[in-house]
Amino acid sequence: MNETPYQQLESRFRRLNALGEAEAVLHWDMSAIMPRGGAEARAEQLSQLKAVRHGLLCAAETGELLAAAEADAGGLDAWQKANLREIRRGWTKAMVLPEDLVVALSKACSACETVWRTARPEADFAAVAAPLEAVLALTIEAGQAKAEKLGLSIYDALLDDYEPDGRSADIDAVFADLESFLPDFLGAVLEAQAARPEAIMPEGPFPEAKQKALGVKFMEALGFDFDHGRLDISLHPFCGGTPDDVRITTRYDEADFTSSLMGVLHETGHALYERGLPKQWRGQPVGDALGMSLHESQSLLVEMQVCRSQGFLNYAAPIIRDAFGGKGDAWQTDNLHALYTQVAPGFIRVDADEVTYPAHVILRYQMERALLEGDMKIPDIPAAWNEGMQRLLGLTPPSDREGCLQDLHWYDGAWGYFPTYTLGAMTAAQLFDAAKRADTSIEPGIAEGDFKALFQWLSTHVHAKGSLMSAKALLIEATGKPLDAGIFKTHLKTRYLS
């Protein structure tokens, strides 16, 4: 039986997806366990995989099948039509990029990331400046090609890769609102916090093995399936791999278990979203996650909305005490809750509290726009970073390790990603608010270590939707309204001023 053009497209995209998944696992291996000497060979492997995928996507036959499928779309169901829409979106962007640019950008990112892994612990921005120059130049070249095709600014064209249909004008309005709200709110929170007993940090050391065992325990409680995933170590925590083989990484500090534990829970939120994507659409664009704001909402919903709540700490505190044999006031539930909701401006984004976190994102957003638009140069980054931290948080990093070298994103070519963190935090607050209103058993369940009701709601309203609809439409369908900053602000006021 002859396949229709649409069916042939699905077959082609199953192959493209398999190649992409192989690339994802190789990238996890490079970040987690690959010996340093393998970097050059791995860069070549990744670039060639990208070239093969790009060639298959941009082949004349793909365009012909796409046009034929669109011309005969009347018999397709809603999911198939959405899949065709997402195929067109990806194909349009890929067609403007020559293969040699795709390969060159891949190699530049791999080379820069390799240098960054040494430069970061040594606080040596000068060592990575030249590789980063190469990444930025190629990113601008690719961004300009996409921008011209899509009729967008270069920033919006790159943002669209992470946040489909996202626009900087909308982000500017949201961030301006937060910039005006947060300084006074932070002052009020710090004043309220000073009136309460000071949180006590339990004394270590906290052996890495015990920290990992504790993280695994909570991952399993949340529903992570270790038959379809792993927990490992990397310089920068992330969630990678594939929906059927999810790879989480974290980093450990034996003097402080609190950061790595919340990092693991954050990445578990990402992993559970990946695992919950619609199985019947594996291998097709419509079965993929719906942009990074929604992805970050799932990690921040788990970490911030759930796992820093009083209810969760009521359940978790005895488990944490038992894991480390802790005794005394520092290990009591109220103190652990105070630790996990403590607000204090700090240098490191991934360790930041909910109140100060948006400032970290705003800084990166402002800087990457300036760099992409030519208003800032690579050598300007350290000074501009330090000035921005002083302006937004009243802090100057002691070195570039705690400053502009802390995040992997730019060094690995992820330009346009950063705004999705704060958009994700706002989305998380809105989704969790809607879930609690829809099912009153969710919060009592969390306090007992039972997360089934929460994830049933998320599966129905978020995970199982894949990329069937736009992020805006999904949020309206799930919560009854588009993104509403007021819900995020209400959450902050309730948690930190009540």
pLDDT tens digit string along 423-477? 999 999 999 999 999 999 999 999 999 999 999 999 999 999 999 999 999 999 9
> What is the rounded distance in angstroms from the CA atom of residue 381 to the CA atom of residue 405?
10
pLDDT at 339 exceeding the cut of 70: yes
Q: What percent of the chain has pLDDT over 90?
A: 97
Of 203, 220, 411, nearest to 319 (Cα)?
220
> Are residues 132 and 119 in contact, defined by beta-carbon separation less than 8 angstroms?
no
Question: Can you give the pLDDT at residue 235?
Answer: 84
pLDDT at 30 exceeding the cut of 80: yes
In the chain, count H helices and then E strands.
20, 3
Residue 305 has what DSSP assignment? Answer: I
pLDDT at 1 exceeding the cut of 80: no
Q: Is 348 exposed, middle or buried (0-12, 13-18, 19+ CB in 10 A)?
A: middle
Question: Can you give the pLDDT at residue 116?
Answer: 96
What is the average pLDDT value for the chain, to the nearest integer? 96
Strand-by-strand arrangement of the 229-233 sheet? 229-233, 245-250, 238-242
> What pLDDT band is residue 130 in, cutting at 50, 70 and 90?
very high
> What pLDDT band is residue 18 in, cutting at 50, 70 and 90?
very high
Three-state DSSP class for residue 38: helix
CA dihedral 479, 485, 491, 494 (to 10 degrees): -130
> What is the rounded distance in angstroms from the CA atom of residue 227 to the CA atom of residue 234?
21
Question: Can you give the pLDDT at residue 435?
Answer: 98
* Residue 241 backbone dihedrals phi, psi, to 5 degrees: 80, -140
Of 458, 490, 140, 129, nearest to 290 (Cα)?
458
Q: What percent of the chain has pLDDT over 70?
A: 100
Identify the helix (H) or strand (E) that includes residue 240. strand 238-242
> Are residues 300 and 266 in contact, defined by beta-carbon separation less than 8 angstroms?
yes
Other CB atoms within 10 Å distance of the CB of residue 224: 22
CA angle 485, 307, 420 (to 5 degrees): 40
- 169-497, what's its fold? Neurolysin; domain 3 (1.10.1370)
Q: pLDDT tens for residues 228-287?
A: 999 999 988 999 999 999 999 999 999 999 999 999 999 999 999 999 999 999 999 999
> What is the rounded distance in angstroms from the CA atom of residue 437 to the CA atom of residue 454?
11
Tell me the torsion sign for CA atoms 73, 79, 85, 89: negative
Mean pLDDT value of segment 18-28: 96
Mean pLDDT value of segment 174-184: 93
Mean pLDDT value of segment 37-44: 94
Domain with CATH 1.20.58 in the chain: 5-164
Both ends of the chain: CA-CA distance in Å? Answer: 66
Q: 43 Cβ partners below 8 Å, 6+ apart?
A: 106, 107, 110, 111, 114
Which of 10, 23, 113, 267 is the catalytic position? Answer: 267
> What is the rounded distance in angstroms from the CA atom of residue 9 to the CA atom of residue 27?
27
Q: pLDDT tens for residues 397-420?
A: 999 999 999 999 999 999 999 999
Mean pLDDT value of segment 115-144: 97
Domain with CATH 1.10.1370.30 in the chain: 169-497
> What is the rounded distance in angstroms from the CA atom of residue 445 to the CA atom of residue 455?
11
CATH 1.20.58 fits 5-164, yes or no: yes
Task: Verify whether residue 267 is a known catalytic residue.
Answer: yes
